[in-house]
Amino acid sequence: MRTLETPLRQGVASLGLSLSEQQVSDLLRYVALIEKWTKVYNLTAVRDPVEMLTHHLLDSLAVVAPLRQRLQAFTPHADTAPRLLDVGSGAGLPGVVISICCPDIQVDCVDAVGKKAAFIQQVAAALKLPNLRGVHARVEQLTGQYQVISSRAFASLADFTQGSRQLLAEQGFWMAMKGKHPVDELAALPPAVEVFHVEQLHVPGLDAERCLIWLCMAD
């Protein structure tokens, strides 16, 4: 993973993030774990570690600063750690990356595929991340309340919000990572769900469109 350290540090700097040496090390170890497990469990279609860096790691790191800003705006005086649910998390993207970069956020990564939830648990143990948990379930089966519910190319916006709306805390919001601006998906949202911001993301080293859709329950 040494070959990835320099481009990772360059990408982190480009995104305006300030990470500790331990966090950089954890991110590199996380990529190594994805590569190792994918050989057996087919966690991701991306096999090349260099591609994993751009398509997975930096892609997920691009949401960290916007998420921190949004949480500060929504819950500036919260006295408990915010909870984030990453839906259809797969190999833990962006949930694991958020848990590494934001130790103050409790992150649950839910996936209907058992081996993927087990992988998240393995990452939490290997990297000693007490704020990370893998959950094997369908999102519709879960209970509890989360300030943030995230997804990365998981489903249509309508299906994503409908399937998880019972889990959204008061004053909470959805964070959906998408490629191109999803005009049709936005048009298909029910009146009860409000889009309050859409922002373009720049992912270092990735020549592809990325955007972040922020949604909440309409008043």
CA-based diameter of the chain, in Å?
50
CATH T-level fold of 63-217: Rossmann fold (3.40.50)
pLDDT in tens, the chain (219 residues): 568 999 999 999 999 999 999 999 999 999 999 988 888 777 776 777 788 898 889 999 999 999 999 998 876 566 788 999 999 999 999 999 999 999 999 999 999 999 999 999 999 999 999 999 999 999 999 999 999 999 998 899 999 999 999 999 999 999 999 999 999 999 999 999 999 999 999 999 988 899 999 999 998
Q: Which residue in 128, 71, 141, 140 sits closest to 100, CA to CA?
A: 128
The residues with which 198 forms a beta bridge, in sequence order, are 213
Confidence (pTM): 0.95
Burial category of 93 from C-beta neighbours within 10 Å (exposed 0-12, middle 13-18, buried 19 and up): buried
What is the rounded CA–CA span in Å between residue 111 and residue 5? Answer: 29
